[in-house]
Amino acid sequence: MARQVLHVDCDCFYAAVEMRDKPEYKDVPIAIGGARDRRGVISTCNYPARKYGVRSAMASSQALKLCPNLIMLPGNMAKYSEVSSQVMAILQQYALAFEPVSVDEAFLELAPTSNAELIAQQIRQQIFSELGITVSVGIAPNKFLAKVASDWRKPNGQFAIAPGEVHDFVGRLPVKLISGVGPKSAEKLKDLGIHTCQDVRDVSAQGLRSQMGKFGEILIQRAQGIDDRVVRVRDRRKSISMEHTFVSDLTDEEEINQILDDMWPKFLARVERAGLQLLQLAPFVKVKFSDFQVTTLADHQRSVTMDDYRELLAQAMLRADKAVRLIGIGGRLQELNNSQMSLF
Ligand code: TTP
Ligand code: MG
């Protein structure tokens, strides 16, 4: 019997929590973000705002151009984390195996014999009545297709791909919907004349392997609708980080700081999406010098701020009198102590 995997994803998650708490936001365009520390980038927006073309990761200034009456809210991560935990607690009850993926999405493995459509309806109802937000659910024989399916009837919908429908459904899918195909690989595939999964099926497997490396194998599998990844709770994440390799090696601290300025909002977005909070993280940096010597420096006494990174990077760079090839910034997860908790 085929597996039954559910992918559950909250609809416009941060915005949904704000609409729940202030019903006057319900039918007007709102966006979360634009706060000082995000340098004016939007985290998400509600569906009325999406009608104007406003999207996640868009600069607030551009969003306001598209939608001048957009209401910008600073957002409240502590509140979203709490709702996220409540959503996950509900989902867990329905699953044989359960795997949270980010702050607002999770995979569930159901028994092959259970009524997945009905369970999806129950999940949606329970989350709406207890938490006041909506979720969308995808049902399919594997993770890849369940995730695609949860997007199909968004918002507040569910969509099932039955085993017998997989072949035709997947054939029509654009390759960029396969997880791991980012803008760069999509571009590369386009150059090879590959747009859909059917196109992947039509080219020679050997050619694809030689063009795309190891990932070629995954593409071939996904294009057949195959994905054997199991649903399981992943080991708790211990750290989160981001690196930048310079086009040419740098010696100037000013220039390096400028790169840090650019990395910072992206790092924050990554932390948020992982469902983490800055206060939980102790900063570390990595510097790779022009001769590939690597040094790392951590500070467990502080929580993560951009100034801490500036200082740590400056210290790390003093360890060698060489040009810098790469910098990395990251946070190691640490348990919150009581005084930090009281800040929420
Ligand atoms: P998503 O599930 O990608 O987006 P969403 O829930 O807002 O909207 P959708 O209905 O399309 O699922 O992300 C979940 C939350 O993560 C989102 O509410 C805000 C945050 N987020 C960011 O902060 N920055 C981003 O670029 C994205 C994509 C999400
Ligand atoms: Mg979502």
The rounded Å distance from CA 238 to ligand 1 centre is: 22
Q: Are residues 10 and 149 in the same domain?
A: yes
> Inter-axis angle of helices 13-21 and 77-94, to 10 degrees?
100
Q: With a 6 A CB cut-off, is 267 part of the ligand 1 pocket?
A: no
| List of residues 6+ apart from 325 with CB closer than 8 A | 245, 246, 249, 288, 289, 290, 292
- Do 21 and 41 sit in the same domain of this protein? yes
Q: Is residue 230 part of a domain?
A: no
18 lines ligand 1 (CB under 6 A): no
Q: Ligand nearest 35 Cα, by number?
A: 1
In a domain, 231, yes or no: no
pLDDT at 275: 74
| 118 shares its domain with 255 | no
Residues 258, 302 within the same domain = yes
Same domain, yes or no, for 252 and 329?
yes
Probe ligand 1: pick from 13, 135, 271, max atoms within 8 Å of CB? 13
Residue 233 lies in a domain: no
d(CA 204, CA 189): 13
In-domain check, residue 229:
no
Establish if 305 belongs to a structural domain.
Answer: yes
Same domain? 149 vs 270: no
How far, in Å, CA of 241 to CA of 217, rounded?
27
| Per-residue pLDDT at 35 | 58
| Sequence-distant (≥ 6) Cβ neighbours of residue 127 within 8 angstroms | 87, 90, 133, 134, 135
Ligand nearest to the CA of 30: 1
Q: Residue 105 CA: which ligand 1 atom is closest?
A: 2
pLDDT score for 236: 66
For 221-272, what is each residue's pLDDT tens digit?
999 999 999 998 776 678 899 999 998 999 888 999 999 999 999 999 888 8
260 lines ligand 1 (CB under 6 A): no
Mean pLDDT by groups of 10 residues along the chain of 344 residues: 96 98 97 70 96 95 95 91 93 92 95 95 97 98 98 98 98 95 92 96 92 92 96 79 91 91 91 81 94 92 87 92 94 64 41
311 is catalytic: no
Tell whether 181 is covered by a domain: yes
Looking at the fold, whether 84 and 157 belong to one and the same domain comes out as: yes
Which CATH number covers residue 204? 1.10.150.20
Residue whose tokens read 């509140």: 79
- Confirm or reject: Cβ of 11 under 6 Å from ligand 1: yes
Take atom 22 of ligand 1 and give the residue whose Cα is closest: 43
Q: Among residues 115, 130, 164, which one ends one of the domains?
A: 164
Same domain, 247 and 322: yes
| CA distances (Å), origin 297, targets 264, 310, 320, 332 | 18, 12, 13, 12
Rg (CA), the chain: 22
Find the CATH number of the domain harbouring 57: 3.40.1170.60
Atom nearest to 45 CA in ligand 1: 7
Ligand 1 pocket, 14 CB below 6 A?
yes
Which pLDDT belongs to residue 344? 36
Task: Report pLDDT digits (tens) over 182-200.
Answer: 998 999 999 999 999 999 9
Do 8 and 118 have their domain in common?
yes
Q: What is the CATH number of the domain that holds 133?
A: 3.30.70.270
Q: Is residue 228 part of a domain?
A: no
| 85: nearest Cα among 321, 221, 277, 297 | 277
Domain that holds residue 212: 168-223
CB 173 within 8 A of CB 148: yes
Q: What is the DSSP letter of 142?
A: S
Same domain, 112 and 250: no
Same domain, 142 and 153: yes
CB-CB neighbours of 88 under 10 Å: 17
Bridge partners (DSSP) of residue 45 are: 31
Overall domain count for the chain: 4
What is the domain-level CATH number for residue 271? 3.30.1490.100
Question: How many angstroms separate the CA atoms of 265 and 271, rounded?
Answer: 10
Tokens linked to 317: 């760079």
Would you say residue 257 lies in a domain?
yes
265 and 319 both lie in a single domain? yes
